[in-house]
């Protein structure tokens, strides 16, 4: 079977998870089974990102965080950094949705996600992490700091302005003005 088929099936599980909490729980199972079966380091990072995101949709932030911790440690140990930025951004998001709300660890994950994205020249990952951090700062009352972070990152983009990440960033910028 071609390698892209299992990946496509996992992406379909993720898309289905966007529909409802019940579908997200089903997606968690599908993705968790794929994680257990695949030993490809790069694919594993992708699967962990999908799994943790779906956990957030299912209201299971702790399960997602439990999957992210070893993946983040593995990145540090192996240097396989392809998914590092997303792992940290998703960890920051899940921490905000966990039972023990603490903004500092979320902020640290977002800052690391931005740092890695910039080292990798990954503008879209930088945008996603910067939007998340700007939202956290705005929630904390640092609206100008949030705007100053996000505005220049958003300005890098001249195409694809109707994509979800850019729409999200633009809406946040409009709220911060």
pLDDT number for residue 42: 61
Which pLDDT band holds residue 113 (cuts at 50, 70, 90)? very high
Give the percent of the chain with pLDDT over 90.
73
Q: How many CB atoms lie within 10 A of CB 100?
A: 8
Domains present along the chain, CATH in parentheses: 1-114 (1.25.40.10), 122-177 (no CATH)
45-84 pLDDT, tens digit per residue, is: 888 999 999 999 999 999 999 999 999 999 989 888 899 9
Mean pLDDT of the chain: 91
pLDDT number for residue 40: 65
41 has pLDDT over 60: no
pLDDT number for residue 39: 64
Distance CA 131, CA 136 (A): 9
Chain centroid offset of residue 46 CA = 11
91 has pLDDT over 80: yes
Which pLDDT band holds residue 38 (cuts at 50, 70, 90)? low
pLDDT number for residue 3: 66
Cβ burial 25-53 (10 Å sphere, 16+ → b, else e): bbbbebbbebbeeeeeeebbbbbbbbbbb
Q: Are 128 and 167 in contact (CB under 8 A)?
A: no
11-32 pLDDT, tens digit per residue, is: 888 899 999 999 999 999 888 8
């Amino acid at each position: 079977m071609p390698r892209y088929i299992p990946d496509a099936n996992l992406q379909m599980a993720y898309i289905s998870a966007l529909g409802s909490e019940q579908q997200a729980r089903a997606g968690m199972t599908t993705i968790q089974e794929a994680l257990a079966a695949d030993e490809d380091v790069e694919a594993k990072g992708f699967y962990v990102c999908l799994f943790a995101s779906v956990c957030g949709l299912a209201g299971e932030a702790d399960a997602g965080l439990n999957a992210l911790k070893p993946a983040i440690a593995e990145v540090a140990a192996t240097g396989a950094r392809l998914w590092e930025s997303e792992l940290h951004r998703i960890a920051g998001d899940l921490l905000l949705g966990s039972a023990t709300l603490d903004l500092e660890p979320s902020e640290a994950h977002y800052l690391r996600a931005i740092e890695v994205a910039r080292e990798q020249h990954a503008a879209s990952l930088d945008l996603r992490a910067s939007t998340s951090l700007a939202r956290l700062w705005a929630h904390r009352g640092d609206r100008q700091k949030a705007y100053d972070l996000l505005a220049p990152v958003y300005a890098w983009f001249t195409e694809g302005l109707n994509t979800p990440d850019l729409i999200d960033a633009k809406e946040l910028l409009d709220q911060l003005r």
